[in-house]
Amino acid sequence: MQTQKSRVLVVEDEADVRDLIVLHLKREGYEVFAVDDGEKALKHLADPGNLASTDLAVVDWMLPGMNGLDVTKWIHETKTLLPILMVTARADSTDIVRGLESGADDYVTKPFEIPVFLARVRSLLRRSKQGLQTEDAVGTKKLRIGELELNSETYDVNVGTEKLNLTPSEFKLLKALMQNQGRVLSRDRLIELVQGEGVSVVDRAIDTHVFGLRKKLGSASDFVETIRGVGYRMKSAD
C-alpha cells in the first residue's frame, strides 16, 4: 500500500476493463479518476490543478472520438513529463512502435495479467519520483555537450538557439547518455534507466526512442554513437 497516495488517470471506454483497472489500482492505495473517452480526459487535464496533481495516465488506444494516440500527443505537447502507460488490444510490433513514438512511456497489451499491469504502474511512478529525487541529491541542473544543452530543472533541451520538443522517454534517455558521457550504456542498462528496473519492455523500445531522439537532435545527432551489438554512447564535442 502507498504511504502517500499517487493519483492515476484512467482513460478506458470498455466498462468492464475500466472497472477492473480502477478496482485494483484502488486496492493498491492509489487515488483514481476514470473517464470513458479522450475528450473527457483532456477536459480533466486542461485544469492546471488536475494536471499538476496527476502522477500517471493509463490510456487505452481505441477510444471513441479522440483515440489514445491523440490523447498521448496532447499530454506531451503540454510540456509536462506526466508518465503514460498505454493499454490496448493492438499487439502488432508496428503498433507498439507507434504507441511509443506518440509519447507513451510503456505499453501493455490486452488481455493482460493484473500483477504485470500493476508492476508497470509501480515502475513508471517509481521512475518518475526517483528522477526528481536524483536531481535534488545531485544538484546538477544543466548538462552541456557542445551546442547541446539539457536543463533538468525546466525540462528544456536546446541545440544552439533551437529548443527541442522531446517526449518524456526521449528526455530521460538523453539525460542518461549525457550524464554518462564517454561510457557505453547497454540496451538493458538504458531500459533500466528509462523504462524502470524489473519491467519487461518490447525489444525495439530503446532503439525506437534513440531513433526519434536523433531525428530531433538534428546537427547534434552525431553525439549519440551506436556501439554495434552493445548499446549507445554519448561522445564528447571534441
Which tens digit of pLDDT belongs to each residue from 54-75? 999 999 999 998 999 999 988 8
135 closest CA partner among 120, 153, 123 = 153
Expressed as residue numbers, the domain containing 170 is 140-234
Cα separation, 217 vs 208, in Å, equals 14
Same domain for 120 and 161? no
Residue 140 phi, psi dihedral angles, 5° rounding: -90, 110
Same domain for 15 and 88? yes
In sequence order, the 6+-apart residues with CB closer than 8 A to the CB of 155 are: 79, 81, 171
Q: Which of 124, 152, 172 is the last residue of a domain?
A: 124
* pLDDT tens-place string over residues 161-194: 999 998 888 888 899 899 888 888 888 778 777 7
Higher per-residue confidence, 200 vs 185: 185
- Give the predicted TM-score (pTM) of the model: 0.62
**DSSP class per residue in 210-228:** HHHHHHHHGGGGGGEEEET
| Overall residue count recorded for the chain in this entry | 238
Task: Quote the mean pLDDT of the chain.
Answer: 83
Q: Which of 94, 124, 154 is the last residue of a domain?
A: 124
Residue 225 contacts residue 235 (beta carbons within 8 Å): yes
Q: How many independent structural domains does the chain possess? A: 2
